[in-house]
Amino acid sequence: MIRIKNAEFITSAVKQNQYPESVHPEVAFVGRSNVGKSTIINALTNRRKLAKVSNTPGRTRLVNFFLINGQAMLVDLPGYGYAKISKSDKAAWGKIIEDYIVNSPNLKRFVLLVDSRHKPTQDDIAMMDYLRYYEKDVVVIGTKLDKLKRNDIKKSEKLIRETLQMEKEEPLYLYSSTSKENLQQVIDLVFKDLLPEEA
């Protein structure tokens, strides 16, 4: 079991010369705007306002770095897929993400968040394909599990796996930041080999 003992906001960046100088392994959170990236970061770290949460999609336009237990860096990437976005904003978003991925030697793992209530979108599929290309670990988390009927959980898992063309051994957890269901499983998966296990 991995325990999150402390979390510290380090910095926000849009380009490489603004990234923190870090020797720590990094795990990057990606997903559609409004899927719950900032909320899950607060839940994992047991902090209410570490990452900014809002009802306005597209709120997080920066790459945000958080140091966990002084040993691993959690990286919050800007969300994609909100409707009211101009072409130039979309290009800027793509560049921010790509610059980070290409210029981060310590990046070990991606956490792709999808909404467990819905079939993953075309943007989610494109993102999954894009992440696979980099040959790093990809962990998929279905968010907002509290909004799902118990009967629909298996169905949702199947739909996510099929739509994203996931192999059996590729990990998927459904999770809720509201009820905290599966929180410890998510922590163990997200920080596996990056933070020490405890009894």
Ligand X SMILES: Nc1nc2c(ncn2[C@@H]2O[C@H](COP(=O)(O)OP(=O)(O)OP(=O)(O)O)[C@@H](O)[C@H]2O)c(=O)[nH]1
Judged by CB, which is closer to Mg ion: 47, or 132? 47
Tell me which residue has its CB nearest to ligand X: 79
Tell me how far apart the alpha carbons of residues 19 and 41 are, in angstroms, rounded to a whole number. Answer: 19
For position 38 contacting ligand X by CB under 6 A, the verdict is yes
Q: Which residue, 27, 22, 8, is CA-closest to 194?
A: 27
Instruction: Map tokens 């993953």 to a residue.
Output: 120
For position 64 contacting Mg ion by CB under 5 A, the verdict is no
Window contacting Mg ion (CB under 5 A); options: 20-28, 59-67, 84-92, 163-171 = 59-67
**Positions in 124-153 near Mg ion (CB under 5 A):** none
Question: Would you state the structure tokens that stand for residue 128, as one six-digit string?
Answer: 């999954």
**Positions in 50-109 near ligand X (CB under 6 A):** 53-55, 57-60, 79
List of E strands, the chain: 7-13, 26-31, 63-68, 72-76, 107-115, 137-143, 172-174
For position 38 contacting Mg ion by CB under 5 A, the verdict is yes
Taken in order 3, 47, 41, 121, is the CA torsion positive or negative? Answer: positive
Q: Which residue, 125, 48, 114, 106, is CA-closest to 79?
A: 114
Judged by CB, which is closer to Mg ion: 37, or 109? 37
> Which positions from 140 to 159 touch ligand X by CB under 6 A, shown as an x/- string?
---xx-xx------------
156 binds, among ligand X, Mg ion, none (CB under 5 to 8 A by kind): none
List residues binding ligand X (CB under 6 A).
31, 33-39, 53-55, 57-60, 79, 143-144, 146-147, 176-178
